[in-house]
Structure 1
Amino acid sequence: MASDIRDAVLREVERRPCATVEEIVNEVSSRVGVPREYVAYELMMLWKRGAVELEGYPMDNRAMYFLSIEGLWYWVVLGISLASLSAVLLISSGPLMYIRYALGALMTLFMPGYSLVETLYPRGDELKPLERLALSIGLSLAITPLIGLILNYTPWGIRLIPIVVSTTLVTTALLTTAAIRKSNYYLSRRSRCFG
């Protein structure tokens, strides 16, 4: 059924290359007899794979990417990183220690690798979600000891605060690089009509 929807979307795009997304979705939905959500999803997946281009993509510059829905992941992950930093630095005892443990484990075992995976694979369709998860955990298990090794040769040494701050800085730097690469990808895909 999904292939029928994709084929109908591609035929409609070829027939009306400068139609709006809403017009394409409505036309294919009524022609194939499926809900609009299915058609919209298939159109989005075709767009992500590069099979169709969208007109008037609202991002004219990098700042628009960071303020759009596509840039929301950056703010969520950055917020989690900063919450982890705050939890480790501010919570030292009591029942809130479990929050510190959870955020600290997330920051150590997932976030650095996730940031690197997003930097290396900026498009959403290059890896499956399970592959992204496995790579994120594996790369985090490689990045975190490297941070510790580098800290061992600095005046700060391997202590809690230098490790937490360094991990947060590395994660933030990788996240920002990933967001810039993703914004470049989205900006390069702008076009005048479907194509």
Structure 2
Amino acid sequence: MVKRDRPPDPVNLDEPLRRLLKIIQESGGSVGDIVNEASRKLELERYEVARLLYKLKDLDLIRFIDPQPPRSFVTYLLSSHVIWFWSLVGLIILILFLIYLTPQVPPFTYLRYVFGSLFVLYLPGAALIELLYPKTSDLSQLERLALSIGLSLALVPLVGLILNYTPWGIRLHPIVISLSILTLALGLGAAARKFLFLKLEQVARYNTER
């Protein structure tokens, strides 16, 4: 469902955006209905209308509302809200598969280099960024990318330092297992924070509409 938040500033909006806002105000309804109607009235392709909708969302002029939001954290984890989390899980499983179940010959070695670099230099920091900044509007995509790499470079040596004082030491298996657990734990914590913000938005919307 698409909901209009506040009146737009006509000076700063292009004509297609103003017309799309008018369509949203008049019809409302689901995203699919609005895309179909706007595509017909504005004579634009569906993907162009979708792009305009996301632009209005970035300008805080509209909100996308789930008509049937998840009521528990478990149902939230099984919903489309956390595709990013399951993508993270899938990447970690793929990396573990490449490390332990593939032969050490090309092209598997090249895949190990690529996904291993992603595993060490990006995923831990990306999960931490999602935990610290759960709202999409908190940071731009470029800022998230830069901070993810920077925090990964800080987290991985810290994990190595801790492992150095354990009986397992700094070896392949302890490092892979530790980074996997750390990344999944941070991702799960980020999902929990996102669910909390979703519940708070539902409460705020309910109080506003009363």
Q: TM-score range by the shorter chain?
A: 0.7 to 0.9
Which residue is 1:88 aligned to?
Answer: 99
Cα distance in 2, alignment partners of residues 15 and 63 from structure 1? 36
Which residue is 1:148 aligned to?
Answer: 160
Which residue is 1:181 aligned to?
Answer: 193
Give CA-to-partner distance per residue, 1:156-188, whole Å, 9 cap, x none: 221111111101111000111112222333444
Which residue is 2:14 aligned to?
Answer: 3
State the aligned residue count.
192
Cα distance in 1, alignment partners of residues 86 and 188 from structure 2? 10
* 1:136 Cα deviation after fit: 1.3
Q: Name the SS for the 2:136 alignment partner.
A: coil
> Is structure 2 residue 117 aligned with structure 1 residue 108?
no
Cα distance in 1, alignment partners of residues 163 and 139 from structure 2? 32
- AA at the equivalent of 1:74: F
- The ranges of structure 1 where at least 4 consecutive aligned residues each deviate by more than 6 angstroms after the TM superposition are none
Calculate the TM-score normalised by the size of structure 2. Answer: 0.75
Alpha carbons of 1:81 and 1:22: their partners in 2 closer, same or farther (altered >3 Å)?
Answer: closer
Alpha carbons of 1:55 and 1:165: their partners in 2 closer, same or farther (altered >3 Å)?
Answer: closer
Give CA-to-partner distance per residue, 1:55-75, whole Å, 9 cap, x none: 553322233433333322211
Give CA-to-partner distance per residue, 1:50-107, whole Å, 9 cap, x none: 4324455332223343333332221111111122133223446323222222222211
Cα RMSD (Å) of the superposition?
Answer: 2.9
**Which stretch of structure 1 is more off in the superposition, 171-180 or 29-38?**
29-38
**Which stretch of structure 1 is more off in the superposition, 168-177 or 51-60?**
51-60
**Which stretch of structure 1 is more off in the superposition, 62-71 or 119-128?**
62-71
Cα distance in 2, alignment partners of residues 68 and 32 from structure 1? 32
Which residue is 1:171 aligned to?
Answer: 183
- AA at the equivalent of 1:87: L
2:70–2:79 CA contact under 8 A, matched in 1: no
For structure 1, list consecutive stretches of 5 or more residues without a partner in the other structure. Answer: none
Alpha carbons of 1:92 and 1:161: their partners in 2 closer, same or farther (altered >3 Å)?
Answer: farther
For structure 2, list consecutive stretches of 5 or more residues without a partner in the other structure. Answer: 1-11
Calculate the TM-score normalised by the size of structure 1. Answer: 0.80
Cα distance in 1, alignment partners of residues 52 and 75 from structure 2? 25
2:159–2:179 CA contact under 8 A, matched in 1: yes
Which of the residues 55, 59, 73 maps onto 2:84? 73
Cα distance in 2, alignment partners of residues 137 and 157 from structure 1? 25
Cα distance in 1, alignment partners of residues 130 and 20 from structure 2? 29
Alpha carbons of 1:68 and 1:60: their partners in 2 closer, same or farther (altered >3 Å)?
Answer: closer
Q: Which has the higher contact order (CA 8 A, sep 6+)?
A: 1
Cα distance in 1, alignment partners of residues 40 and 111 from structure 2? 49
Alpha carbons of 1:151 and 1:49: their partners in 2 closer, same or farther (altered >3 Å)?
Answer: farther
Cα distance in 2, alignment partners of residues 186 and 9 from structure 1? 26
1:53–1:189 CA contact under 8 A, matched in 2: no
**Which stretch of structure 1 is more off in the superposition, 126-135 or 21-30?**
21-30
Give CA-to-partner distance per residue, 1:132-171, whole Å, 9 cap, x none: 2211111111110010111112222211111111011110
Q: Name the SS for the 1:125 alignment partner.
A: helix
Which of the residues 36, 43, 47 maps onto 2:46? 36
Cα distance in 1, alignment partners of residues 90 and 181 from structure 2? 13
Cα distance in 1, alignment partners of residues 133 and 115 from structure 2? 25
Percentage identity across paired residues of the two chains: 39
